[in-house]
């Protein structure tokens, strides 16, 4: 299978996946972006604006500016700022950093699990992937919300944070955690049941056991066409049902060994005898077996385009080159 075919199969799998999985993929991606770029590494968890002094505090940095120095200067870390103030880093800030760091890693893992759930077919692996996605999303949400709760509940009691108020980075951390809770809940309530997985697995096993010449889940038409079993030379002696619309090219086996000329068995198309000015069906566009219906099936690997859909169900060898048929494709017109 080439890279292009693999990409096409992945796109088909994504389009065929449940809309809930696609929604969770979008939701977890947004939550990861909010937590990574707008919360965890920013310097605006709390802010202070009193007179000439403005400062803001993050999990790692402390930034400030004054009238004498209008440029915002940030110390390398909160730890350095507290050491400059002759204060130790409190335990609650260490705890907040720990839980937010765990949330950062698990948020990335939730995006990966959502991608896997979206691009995996409906098998036992998909159920296992969704169960893993549920666990990862809930662990991520708990880490983020616990870290935010610790920070929001303790910052006001620190003397070096007196006068500060919570800012937008703190809010985005909570929003990201809630988004992961929603995503995990969707995955949990849309887990595929065992019966549907077993049915789909049985269908896939049946399709894989069919002969190479059969039409199985063609990408152009997205249908499964059942093909009756027939000998390799079935097209030499098969007689279609007694119907005026079918005119086989060859008589039954044993009556005549030499096929009749095509001109004696071909039924004239009434549309071709009328000069109506519209397009009519040409001889090259007629099935070479029944000489009545338009050709619709492309054979591979010989790429002969010479059979209608009804006659293609009856053959496993190309009537033109006698090559073995590996795939039958019904292209769009």
**What does the pLDDT profile of the chain (333 residues) look like in tens digits?**
576 766 667 677 777 778 888 899 999 999 999 999 999 989 899 998 877 778 899 999 988 876 566 677 888 788 888 888 888 889 999 999 999 999 999 999 999 999 888 877 655 577 888 899 999 999 999 999 999 999 999 988 888 888 899 999 999 999 999 999 999 999 999 887 654 444 444 444 444 444 444 444 444 444 444 544 545 544 444 444 444 444 444 444 444 344 444 444 444 444 444 444 444 444 568 888 888 888 888 888 888 888 898 888 888 888 888 888 888 888 876
- Name the domain boundary from 141, 165, 198: 198
- Based on the fold, state whether residues 81 and 57 are members of the same structural domain: yes
Domain that holds residue 291: 212-268+282-333
Same domain, 124 and 239: no
185 and 241 housed in the same domain: no
- Please tell me whether residues 192 and 216 are part of one structural domain: no
Same domain, 148 and 252: no
Confirm whether 116 is domain-assigned.
yes
Q: Are residues 156 and 253 in the same domain?
A: no
Domain boundary among 142, 170, 198: 198
* pTM for this entry: 0.57
In a domain, 218, yes or no: yes
Report d(CA 241, CA 238) in Å as an integer. 10
Question: Domain check: are 137 and 216 in the same one?
Answer: no
Report the pLDDT value the prediction gives residue 81, as an integer from 0 to 100: 86
Instruction: Identify whether residues 7 and 64 lie together within a single domain.
Output: yes
Look at residue 38 in the predicted model and tell me its pLDDT.
Answer: 94
Total number of domains constituting the chain: 2
329 assigned to some structural domain: yes
Phi, psi torsion values for 28, nearest 5 degrees = -70, -35
The structure tokens listed for 108 are 């990335």
Q: Is residue 192 located within the same domain as residue 264?
A: no
7 lies in the same domain as 137: yes
Predicted pLDDT of residue 77: 86
What's the confidence (pLDDT) of residue 39? 94
List the structure tokens of 123.
């098998």
Structure tokens at 231: 């000998």
160 within 8 A of 82, measured Cβ to Cβ: yes
> CATH number of the domain that 130 lies in?
1.20.140.150
Pair 154, 289 in one domain: no
Please state, in angstroms and rounded to a whole number, the distance separating the CA atoms of residues 331 and 218: 9
Vertex 243, ends 239 and 244: CA angle to 5°?
110
What's the rounded Cα separation, in Å, for the pair 39 and 36? 6
Distances (CA, A) of 206 to 103, 126, 217, 231: 44, 20, 12, 20
In a domain, 308, yes or no: yes
Q: Is residue 243 part of a domain?
A: yes
For residue 249, give the DSSP letter: S
């Amino acid at each position: 299978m080439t890279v292009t075919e693999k990409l096409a199969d992945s796109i088909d799998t994504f389009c065929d996946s449940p809309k809930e999985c696609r929604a969770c993929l979008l939701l977890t991606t947004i939550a990861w972006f909010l937590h990574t770029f707008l919360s965890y590494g920013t310097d605006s968890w709390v802010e202070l604006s009193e007179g000439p002094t403005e400062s803001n505090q993050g999990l790692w940095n402390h930034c400030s500016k004054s009238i004498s120095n209008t440029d915002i200067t940030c110390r390398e870390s909160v730890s350095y700022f507290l050491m400059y103030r002759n204060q130790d880093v409190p335990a609650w800030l260490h705890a907040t950093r720990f839980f937010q760091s765990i949330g950062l890693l698990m948020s990335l893992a939730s995006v990966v699990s959502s991608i896997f759930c979206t691009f995996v077919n409906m098998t036992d692996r998909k159920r296992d992937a969704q169960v893993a996605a549920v666990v990862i999303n809930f662990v991520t949400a708990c880490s983020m919300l616990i870290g935010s709760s610790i920070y929001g509940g303790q910052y006001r009691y620190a003397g070096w944070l007196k006068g500060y108020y919570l800012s937008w980075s703190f809010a985005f951390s909570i929003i990201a955690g809630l988004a992961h809770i929603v995503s995990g809940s969707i995955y949990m309530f849309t887990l595929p049941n065992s019966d549907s997985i077993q049915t789909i697995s049985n269908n896939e096993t049946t399709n894989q056991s069919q002969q190479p010449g059969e039409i199985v889940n063609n990408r152009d038409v997205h249908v499964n066409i059942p093909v009756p079993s027939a000998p390799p030379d079935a097209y030499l002696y098969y007689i279609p049902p007694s119907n005026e619309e079918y005119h086989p090219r060859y008589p039954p086996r044993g009556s005549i060994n030499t096929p009749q000329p095509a001109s004696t068995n071909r039924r004239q198309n009434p549309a071709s005898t009328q000069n109506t000015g519209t397009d009519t069906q040409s001889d090259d566009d007629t099935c070479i077996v029944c000489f009545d219906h338009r050709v619709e099936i492309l054979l591979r690997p010989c790429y002969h385009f010479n059979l209608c859909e009804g006659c293609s169900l009856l053959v496993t060898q190309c009537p033109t080159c006698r090559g073995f048929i590996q795939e039958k494709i019904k292209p769009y017109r």
